[in-house]
Amino acid sequence: MSNRRGRAAEKKPRAARGTNKKGFMNLVESDIDTKRLRDIKLADKPKIDFLLSLAPNPGCENCFANLFMWGEVYGLEILEIGERRAVVYNGRDKYLYFPLGGLPQPAELAEICAAFARAGLVAPRSRIYNVPPDYPQIFPSARKLFDFDENPDEADYLYNVERQIALSGPKLRKKRNHIKHFLSQNPQMRVEPLCEGNFARAMRFMDAEDEKKCLFAEEVAIGSAFANFRGLGLYGCVLYSAPDKIAAAAVMGEISGGAHSVHFEKSDKLSDGASQMIVRCEAEAIRGRGGKFMNREQDLGDPNLRRAKESLDPDIMYRRLGARPKNA
**From CA 282, how far away is CA 265, in angstroms rounded?**
10
Residue 129 within any structural domain of the chain:
yes
Rg (CA), the chain: 22
User: Cα separations (Å) of 281 from 57, 100, 170?
Assistant: 24, 32, 21
Q: What is the pLDDT of residue 20?
A: 47
Q: What is the pLDDT of residue 212?
A: 65
Residue 57 within any structural domain of the chain:
yes
**From CA 108, how far away is CA 208, in angstroms rounded?**
46
Q: What is the pLDDT of residue 153?
A: 97
Residue 3 pLDDT class (50, 70, 90 cuts): very low
Q: What is the pLDDT of residue 256?
A: 85
Q: In the predicted model, what is the mean pLDDT of the chain?
A: 90
Task: Answer yes or no: do 139 and 167 share one domain.
Answer: no
**From CA 106, how far away is CA 136, in angstroms rounded?**
9
Q: Given phi > 0 = left and psi -120 to 50 = alpha, else beta, which region is 273?
A: left
Residue 309 within any structural domain of the chain:
no
Task: Answer yes or no: do 87 and 160 share one domain.
Answer: no
Residue 10 pLDDT class (50, 70, 90 cuts): very low
C-alpha triplet 204, 208, 211: angle, nearest 5°: 140
* CA dihedral over 102, 108, 109, 111, signed as positive or negative: negative
Residue 6 in this model has a pLDDT that exceeds 90: no
Task: Answer yes or no: do 86 and 178 share one domain.
Answer: no
Residue 328 pLDDT class (50, 70, 90 cuts): low
288-308 pLDDT, tens digit each:
999 999 999 999 999 999 999
Residue 252 in this model has a pLDDT that exceeds 50: yes
Q: Given phi > 0 = left and psi -120 to 50 = alpha, else beta, which region is 255?
A: beta
Q: What is the pLDDT of residue 1?
A: 34
Residue 61 within any structural domain of the chain:
yes
Task: Answer yes or no: do 64 and 201 share one domain.
Answer: no
Residue 75 within any structural domain of the chain:
yes
Residue 12 pLDDT class (50, 70, 90 cuts): very low
Task: Answer yes or no: do 8 and 150 share one domain.
Answer: yes
Residue 247 pLDDT class (50, 70, 90 cuts): very high
CATH code where residue 251 lies: 3.40.630.30
Give residues with Cβ within 8 angstroms of 84, minimum separation 6.
Answer: 19, 25, 51, 54, 101, 102
Residue 18 in this model has a pLDDT that exceeds 60: no
Predicted TM-score (pTM) of this structure: 0.89
**From CA 29, how far away is CA 36, in angstroms rounded?**
14
Task: Answer yes or no: do 191 and 288 share one domain.
Answer: yes
Residue 2 pLDDT class (50, 70, 90 cuts): very low
Phi, psi of 266 (to 5 degrees): -135, 140
DSSP 137-159: HH-TTHHHHEEEE--GGGPEEEE
Cα atoms found within 13 Å of the Cα of residue 91, Cβ hemisphere only: 15
* CA dihedral over 320, 324, 325, 326, signed as positive or negative: negative
CA 225 to chain centre: 13
Residue 71's H or E segment, with its range, is: helix 71-74
129-160 pLDDT, tens digit each:
999 999 999 999 999 999 999 999 999 999 99
Torsion, CA 161, CA 167, CA 168, CA 170, rounded to 10: 130
Q: What is the pLDDT of residue 31?
A: 75
Residue 314 within any structural domain of the chain:
no
Task: Answer yes or no: do 61 and 109 share one domain.
Answer: yes
Q: How many domains does the chain have?
A: 2
**From CA 132, how far away is CA 120, in angstroms rounded?**
26
Task: Answer yes or no: do 177 and 257 share one domain.
Answer: yes
Task: Answer yes or no: do 122 and 198 share one domain.
Answer: no
Residue 277 pLDDT class (50, 70, 90 cuts): very high
**From CA 164, how far away is CA 176, in angstroms rounded?**
10
Q: What is the pLDDT of residue 273?
A: 96
Residue 103 within any structural domain of the chain:
yes
Task: Answer yes or no: do 88 and 210 share one domain.
Answer: no
Q: Higher model confidence: residue 263 or residue 328?
A: 263
- Mean pLDDT of the 268-274 span: 94
CB count in 10 Å sphere of residue 223: 15
Task: Answer yes or no: do 215 and 252 share one domain.
Answer: yes
**From CA 179, how far away is CA 283, in angstroms rounded?**
14
pLDDT-wise least confident of 14-28, 185-199, 203-217, 310-324: 14-28
Domain coverage including residue 106 = 4-154+321-325
* CA dihedral over 257, 305, 265, 127, signed as positive or negative: negative
Residue 307 within any structural domain of the chain:
no
Q: Quickly count helices (H) and strands (E) in the chain.
A: 13, 17
Task: Answer yes or no: do 166 and 58 share one domain.
Answer: no
Q: What is the pLDDT of residue 215?
A: 73
28-46 pLDDT, tens digit each:
455 789 999 999 999 999 9
SS3 120: coil
